[in-house]
Amino acid sequence: MLKYITRRLLMTIPTFLIVALVVFTLMRLVPGDPAAVMVGDLDDPTILAQVRRELGLEEPLPQQFAIWLGSVLRGELGQSLMTGEDVLDAMLRRFKVTAQIVMVSVVLAVLVAIPVGLLAAWRQNRTADVITMFLVILAVSVPSFWVGILLILVFGVELGWLPTIGYVSIGENLAEGARYLILPVTALLLGEMASLARMMRSSTIEVLRLEYITHARAKGLSEGVVLWRHALPNAFAPVLTVLGLMLGSLLGGAVVIETVFTLPGLGRFLVDGSYARDYPVVQGTLLLVAAIYVLTNLIVDLLYPLFDPRVRL
Amino acid sequence: MSLRSQVAWMMRRPNGVVGISLLGLIIILAVIGWLATPYDPLMLSYEDRLAPPSASHWLGTDQFGRDMFSRLVAAAGTSLVVSLLTVTLALVGGTLIGSVSGYLGGWVDRIAMTVNDALMAFPGILLALGIMAVIGPRRYGVVVALGLAYMPNVVRIVRGVVLSVREKEYVEASRALGNSEWYTVLAHVVPGCISALTVIGTAIFGGALLSESALSFLGLGVPPPAPTWGGLLADSTLYMDRAPWLSIFPGLAISVTLLGVNLFGDALRDRFDPRMSRL
């Protein structure tokens, strides 16, 4: 067990390094002087010279990368060219918004997809299953940002029931915050929930074919007990891995959804940064999102043995 | 199995039939749009601004009086071509790297796989977004950005197949006949990956179409004035209260295409992975 944990932890080091290298390379591919890229259209030669020294631009590239990596690890991500804010501070503030949407989406997706997938597998190829699978493939095919636009059209423009722009922190005002979350979360969640349900279904079908399930039924256990107590634990383990990957697409989806609903989140920050060619912001958000993603998948892998009774390391 | 019997097999699956039909419809529309559209998709017409759907403008007009149907059909070509080029880039690059890495094995393979796994740890659309932020909105920039973002998936799958194929007798026979390593890989190892490549290629096509639309929606994809479905949707959001039809049709076009791709992909997976077809 300890060996597995150590191995898995060590594996994240090259991952982080390569992620950092990709972002570093991207930033150096920006045409022009890297120092000028980081301070913007500033005509002050002394600042420019200072940044150039800090970035170690006279050194060979591997050294430049080491210097850059060092400052990233110290959390020195520079100032936003748009607002002059410290990038790290701004990101952490905006991350709260994104985290709220993504967390609520993950929880809701799991709560709905697990029972739906389980039931569809149980009624395999019957009417309920066929209808569910049709809805799933429909939900997977509809882009989240279009769902968002349709929701705004119906609930915002036509009916005027729900706010379509902006955001209120759940921490400050639970009811109002929830009202602002309904539409973005629905748009973000639909496709992910559907693919999770599909995954749960096929994983359950494989488990239901195993002999211990036949044995449980032969013992006279009710179908509910067979499904919930016997099939679910084994069927859930592969779904857990998908859950980690799902976070990636939710974070990616959040970029677009935050734009649709004008939410001040991390994704919107990245998009705004891209428009404005605000490279410190682009660099910081890319690094942060990738780090979150790598860390979550690390946690998922570490939790895996707890959920899969067959994996005992 | 011959191509004809492959097609015949697909046509016996309801998923395959519907998928192929939807895709066929979109491709025909795109080809027609490439040859001719009722109006010039870029032609401005001040007096027809934001006109609702009518006999002269089937799907209405946008804020510059441009015909929505013409723009939608022209955009189909853009989206399909960009997605197709993305798939090609991802498949060719991924097959090259994956087969060489799997065939050679050893430290080459270990390094390639470490890098590959790390790249897979990067959400695809974010990598693409980062690349687009650096190079700015460009039609072929999107292809490169998305192609690179999807390549690691192909590498991993091709490598897996190559690892299992390279020990087979017919590969050894090719080497024994004195064929070069390159010839052996290309003529005997890579063909073993075709079925896996078809399945993942379809999945990537859908992913690329969705990501391209998302990037264009964000204004970081194919640059205007070339119409794209994502771009049409983005423009429409400013006029939702006055011209809701502008928001409906581009999204519908993306959804129908993706539905076709997904249904087709499901049928393909059933075809090549018999274990799944019983599910």
pLDDT tens per residue, chain A (313 residues)?
A: 778 788 888 888 888 888 888 888 888 887 777 777 777 666 677 777 777 777 777 777 888 888 888 888 887 787 787 777 888 888 888 888 888 888 889 899 999 998 998 888 888 888 888 888 888 888 889 999 999 999 888 887 777 777 777 777 766 777 777 777 888 898 999 988 998 998 888 888 888 888 888 888 888 888 888 888 888 888 887 788 778 778 878 888 888 898 888 888 888 888 888 887 788 888 888 888 888 888 888 888 888 777 766 665 4
**A300, A237 contact by CB (below 8 A):** no
Q: Residue B191, SS3?
A: helix
> What pLDDT score was predicted for residue B278?
41
A252 in reach of chain B (CB within 8 A): yes
Residue A273 and residue A254: Cα distance in Å, rounded? Answer: 15
> What pLDDT score was predicted for residue B277?
44
A241 in reach of chain B (CB within 8 A): no
Structural domains of chain A, with CATH:
2-73 (no CATH), 87-307 (1.10.3720.10)
Cβ contact B262–A137 (<8 Å): yes
- Name A94's Cβ contacts closer than 8 Å, sequence gap at least 6: A264, A265, A266, A268, A269
Cβ contact B118–A206 (<8 Å): no
Residue of A nearest to B214 (CA): A256
Point out the least confidently predicted range of A54-58, A296-300, B162-166, B210-214: A54-58
- Name B84's Cβ contacts closer than 8 Å, sequence gap at least 6: B205
Residue A246 and residue A258: Cα distance in Å, rounded? Answer: 18
Q: Compute the average pLDDT of residues B99-111.
A: 86
* A residues 134-163 closer than 8 Å to B (CB): 137-138, 140-143, 145-146, 149-150, 152-153, 157
- Nearest Cα of chain A lies from the Cα of B195 at a distance, in angstroms, of 21
Residue A287, amino acid: L
> What pLDDT score was predicted for residue B50?
64
> What pLDDT score was predicted for residue B49?
67
- Nearest Cα of chain B lies from the Cα of A155 at a distance, in angstroms, of 12
> What pLDDT score was predicted for residue B155?
92
**Is the bond leading into B225 cis (omega within 30 degrees of zero)?**
yes
Residue of B nearest to A207 (CA): B279
Rounded to two decimals, what is the model's pTM? 0.85
* A residues 168-187 closer than 8 Å to B (CB): none
A199 in reach of chain B (CB within 8 A): no
Cβ contact A143–B251 (<8 Å): yes
Q: What residues of chain B lie within 8 A of the CB of A256, using their CB? A: 214, 217-218
> What pLDDT score was predicted for residue B43?
67
DSSP string, B63-129: TT--BHHHHHHHHHHHHHHHHHHHHHHHHHHHHHHHHHHHHH-HHHHHHHHHHHHHHHTS-HHHHHH
- Name A222's Cβ contacts closer than 8 Å, sequence gap at least 6: none
With bands split at pLDDT 50, 70 and 90, how would you rate the model's confidence at B276?
very low
pLDDT tops 90 at residue B88? yes
- Nearest Cα of chain A lies from the Cα of B182 at a distance, in angstroms, of 29
* Reported ipTM exceeds the 0.85 cut: no
Cβ contact B126–A289 (<8 Å): yes
B220 in reach of chain A (CB within 8 A): yes
